[in-house]
Structure 1
């Protein structure tokens, strides 16, 4: 098991390094005149050149990346080129909002999808038909459309929740709940249909296995078979789907954060990318990729614990 975990950690580190290199290179070849953006439209060419020299933009790309990488490995992610705030402080203040949004959403998706998916596989009938229709509807309707509908209904028409976030440093839990409710609902409704279908398929696949028929022939009750055997064997497929959903939510949170004005890391990344604020963008990349690697590692460990064949492979 230790070798299994070490391999996953090493692959995660390699993935983080590759993505950092690609992101850094693409940012500098995006065509954005970073020095001009920082100096302003009214700045002279001399002022723009001076600003580029201050930031080291006149140095070779490899030299700039090497300097940034060495500093990042030492824990220094630099400062924002536009606000002069330390990148670590920006990430630390924005990341919790996105993490709360995504983690609450994925927990609710896991609970709802597992319950409905198992019911659809075991009971069938109208529950199964609703799941089939819902999975199609979930694929068609994007989460930002659901978010806009929720805003119109529950924020503008009925004024139950705020239309935009009022989260600020030190805000009480009640503010977080009020600001997060509609965004979480939008993400959950969009994601739960696909996850439910996957849970349903995984459970149905296990119910058709030979060991289930053997257990039934021995007189073991349906409840014991389902909870002690079927769900355990179906869990790896469900966990894999949820890990993919988590990554999708982390990326899709950008749009949701924009709609509800949530001060999360996604909206920060969009703003920084538009401005060409490379230290902020690279800080966001490191944070998000690290989160994805850690989540995938946890899922792999859980799958390895549930299914020894995964550890061997």
Structure 2
């Protein structure tokens, strides 16, 4: 288990370097100039050049990236170009919103998706077809359209849930849950179908194996046979798709946070990209990459727990 942990941590270092470097160079190629955004179109040429020098934009891109890495090694992500606010403070203030949305959506998707997958593997027939339809609808229907429909029905017409805004759990736990119901519903729809399909296929594969027939013939109780033996052996592919869903939700938060006006990292990424605020963009990419590394590490550890052979492979 410790070897798996150390191996993953070592692999994460070049991943962080590659992702941050690629993001830095790609953002530098996109149209836009922070100095123009700050000064406006009616600017004096001398003032424009002076501001670009102050922001370090006159240096070559590799030199700018090296300076950012040096700042990172000193435990800082720099400051925002537009308000000189600490990037770490800016991101930490929004991190809880994004994590709340992603974690809650992942939990709902995993529980409902696995339950539907197991049930459709046991009963098949109409339930299996319903899972296929749910998965197809999740792929076909645009998330922003689903979000607008849910807002129109549950927020505007029925007035059961807030249309926009976020309540901190420390202020009002019930209000926090209500503010996340619609965003979670929008993001969980496609994820539930995907997890349900993978769970059903994995369970069907395991249920057809000889050891299941042997256990069934030996009089093992159906509940123990399904949940203790079959589901555990089907756990590796199910965990894989749940981990992929969690990672994909990091990108999905951009739509949800903008539609429902949630002050998370996704909305901040859109704002920073529009303003070409490179330190903030780099900070968000770094945060997301670290989250991906942590999620993959947790999934690997769960693999080893489910299948002891992985620990010695």
TM-score range, shorter chain: over 0.9
**TM-score computed with the length of structure 2 as normaliser:** 0.95
CA drift of 1:99 comes to 0.4
CA drift of 1:304 comes to 1.7
Verify the 8 A CA contact 2:253 2:266 in the aligned structure 1. Answer: yes
1:136: which partner in 2?
136
1:156: which partner in 2?
156
Question: In 2, distance between residues paired with 1:40 and 1:50?
Answer: 14
Change beyond 3 A, Cα 1:168–1:219: closer
User: Stretches of 4+ moved more than 3 A in 1?
Assistant: 166-171, 308-313
Verify the 8 A CA contact 2:169 2:175 in the aligned structure 1. Answer: no
Q: Deviations over 1:5-54 (max 9, x none)?
A: 11111112221110000011111121322222222221121111110000
Unaligned runs of 5+ in 2: none
CA drift of 1:259 comes to 0.4
Question: In 2, distance between residues paired with 1:226 and 1:123?
Answer: 13
1:302: which partner in 2?
302
2:114: which partner in 1?
114
Alignment of 1:38-117 (within 5 A): 38-117=38-117
Question: In 1, distance between residues paired with 2:195 and 2:143?
Answer: 15
1:5: which partner in 2?
5
Question: In 2, distance between residues paired with 1:310 and 1:101?
Answer: 32
CA drift of 1:168 comes to 6.7
- Partner-residue secondary structure (3-state), 1:280: helix
**TM-score computed with the length of structure 1 as normaliser:** 0.95
Verify the 8 A CA contact 1:91 1:265 in the aligned structure 2. Answer: yes
Question: In 1, distance between residues paired with 2:27 and 2:254?
Answer: 19
Superposed CA RMSD in Å reads 1.6
Change beyond 3 A, Cα 1:194–1:169: closer
Unaligned runs of 5+ in 1: none
Alignment of 1:231-246 (within 5 A): 231-246=231-246
CA drift of 1:228 comes to 1.6
Q: Deviations over 1:133-189 (max 9, x none)?
A: 222222211322211110010111122112111447964323322221111111112
1:215: which partner in 2?
215
- Partner-residue secondary structure (3-state), 2:234: helix
Q: Deviations over 1:185-233 (max 9, x none)?
A: 1111232111111111111110011211222232323222212211111
1:283: which partner in 2?
283
Verify the 8 A CA contact 1:139 1:194 in the aligned structure 2. Answer: no
Question: In 2, distance between residues paired with 1:169 and 1:187?
Answer: 20
- Partner-residue secondary structure (3-state), 1:288: helix
- Partner-residue secondary structure (3-state), 2:237: helix
